[in-house]
Structure 1
Amino acid sequence: MQRVVLYPPREEAVGLVRWHVTHFLVWRGLHQRYLLDDVLLVVSELFANAVRHAEHQGQPIPVALELREDVLRIEVHDPDPTLPVPNLDIDLDATSGRGLLVVASLAKQWGAVPRPDGGKVVFAEIAPYA
Structure 2
Amino acid sequence: SRSAVSRTFTEGASVAPKTRARVMQAAEELGYRVNLLARTLHKERSDLVGLVGANLSNPYISAQVDALTAALYANGLQCMLLNLAGQQNDMENAVAKLLEYRVRTVVLLSGAVPDTLMRLAAANGTRLVLI
For this structure pair, what is the TM-score category when the shorter chain's length is used for normalisation?
under 0.3
- Name the TM-score, length of structure 1 as normaliser: 0.26
> Which of these two proteins has the greater Rg computed from alpha carbons?
2
Q: Which has the higher strand share?
A: 1
Q: Which has the higher contact order (CA 8 A, sep 6+)?
A: 1
- Name the TM-score, length of structure 2 as normaliser: 0.25
